């Protein structure tokens, strides 16, 4: 009896770029991608932070370098990707939120969140995809969305709008890029404890609301996502494109 081969989760010989890599989800993902064999470029505005993170990955035997860049500066980031690429893996992770009741949302807050979560993410995807097309290579683009790209949430109308938008452009991009061998999917976490989320997770009523919706009964940690990241980046997910991998502890199951 001839058994089918097991898929490989290894990323040896591949280059990955991770935005928002200075801390939290991005840092954990960059570390996991390096552990799987990828050469990882960590991107964030905070140069010293990502230099230290890249050094820590190298000290453990991984391959990593740092790129201090602001992804909202679309032309500058595209130039950096063109100069350093091509990258077979993109973790499009840089993002943010400014939560407020719908009646209190300002144009400034709306524009800031949309500029980062939609415009910058879209053009980061475009820059990496162009590099792969020009090099004649396939790859995997992972857009970090959210469970809030599939449901609604109080005080999150702008954030939800941006993540639903990401889900839409991911599906459209997957259709266009499939003939080039480029896969595009979203990773959709629930609430993950990071330096950015820790302040509001410390608020009792907010934490109670979150835990009442996460059926597994706990807030996520960055390492809860890294297996999904490596899976989507690797050939183990070679038939997946245009879809969402939801890691939400059961939030959207109800």
Q: What is the DSSP letter of 130?
A: H
- Convert the pLDDT of each residue in 12-54 to its tens digit: 999 999 999 999 999 999 999 999 999 999 999 999 999 999 9
Decide: 189 and 247 in contact? Cβ < 8 Å. Answer: yes
Query: Which pLDDT score is estimated for 196?
Result: 83
Q: Which pLDDT does position 117 carry in this prediction?
A: 98
Tell whether 6 is covered by a domain.
Answer: no
Q: Does residue 7 lie within any of the structural domains? A: no
Answer yes or no: is 42 within a domain.
Answer: yes
Query: Percent of the chain at pLDDT above 70?
Result: 100
CATH code for the domain of 227: 3.40.50.720
Between CA 123 and CA 126 the distance in angstroms is: 5
- Domain span at residue 45 reads 15-248
DSSP H/E element including 188: strand 182-189
Average of pLDDT values for 151-168?
97
**What pLDDT is recorded for position 254?**
86
195 band by pLDDT with thresholds 50, 70 and 90: confident
CA angle 224, 65, 222 (to 5 degrees): 10
Q: Over range 153-160, report the average pLDDT.
A: 96
Distance CA 156, CA 27 (A): 25
Give the per-residue pLDDT at 81. Answer: 98
Please report which residue ranges of 62-203 form alpha helices under DSSP H.
74-84, 107-114, 121-135, 157-177, 198-201
Whether residue 2 is contained in a domain is answered as no
Q: From the candidates 159, 191, 231, 251, give the one annotated as an active-site residue.
A: 159
Is there a catalytic annotation at residue 110? no
DSSP label at residue 204: H
Q: Mean pLDDT in the chain?
A: 97
Angstrom CA distances, 95 to 49, 77, 86, 136, 163, stand at 17, 15, 23, 29, 10
226 located within any domain: yes
* Dihedral (CA of 67, 73, 78, 79) sign: negative
- Number of domains comprising the chain: 1
Q: Contact, 253 vs 219, CB < 8 A?
A: no
178 occurs within a structural domain: yes
d(CA 162, CA 168): 10
Average the pLDDT over 139-154 and give the result.
Answer: 97
Nearest to 35 by CA among 173, 183, 226, 197: 226
In a domain, 32, yes or no: yes
- pLDDT single digits (tens) 232-249: 999 999 999 999 999 999
In angstroms, the CA 136 to CA 120 distance is 24
Distance CA 249, CA 213 (A): 9
122 in any annotated domain: yes
pTM for this predicted structure: 0.96
- Other residues' Cβ atoms within 10 Å of the Cβ of residue 227: 12
Give SS3 for 185. strand
Q: Which 3 state secondary structure label does DSSP give 181?
A: coil
pLDDT of 200 reads: 84
Return the bridge partners of 220, or none.
192
């Amino acid at each position: 009896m001839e058994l089918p081969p097991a898929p490989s989760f290894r990323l040896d010989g591949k280059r990955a770029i991770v935005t928002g890599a200075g801390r939290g989800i991005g840092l954990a993902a960059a570390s996991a991608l390096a552990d799987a064999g990828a050469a990882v470029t960590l991107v964030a505005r905070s140069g010293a932070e990502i230099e230290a993170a890249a050094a820590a990955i190298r000290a453990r035997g991984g391959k990593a370098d740092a790129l201090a860049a602001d992804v909202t500066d679309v032309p500058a980031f595209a130039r950096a990707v063109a100069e350093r690429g091509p990258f077979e893996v993109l973790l499009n992770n840089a993002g943010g939120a400014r939560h407020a009741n719908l009646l209190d949302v300002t144009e400034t807050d709306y524009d800031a969140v949309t500029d980062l979560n939609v415009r910058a993410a879209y053009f980061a995807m475009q820059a990496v995809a162009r590099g792969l097309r020009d090099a004649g290579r396939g790859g995997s683009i992972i857009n970090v969305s959210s469970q809030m790209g599939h449901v609604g949430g109080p005080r999150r109308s702008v954030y939800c709008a941006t993540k639903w938008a990401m889900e839409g452009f991911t599906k459209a991009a997957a259709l266009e890029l499939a003939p080039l061998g480029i896969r595009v999917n979203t990773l959709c976490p629930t609430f993950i404890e990071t330096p950015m989320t820790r302040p509001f997770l410390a608020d009792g009523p907010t934490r109670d609301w979150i835990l009442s919706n996460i059926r597994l009964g706990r807030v996520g940690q960055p390492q809860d996502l890294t297996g999904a990241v490596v899976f989507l980046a690797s050939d183990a997910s070679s038939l997946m494109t245009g879809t969402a991998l939801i890691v939400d502890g059961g939030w959207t199951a109800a």
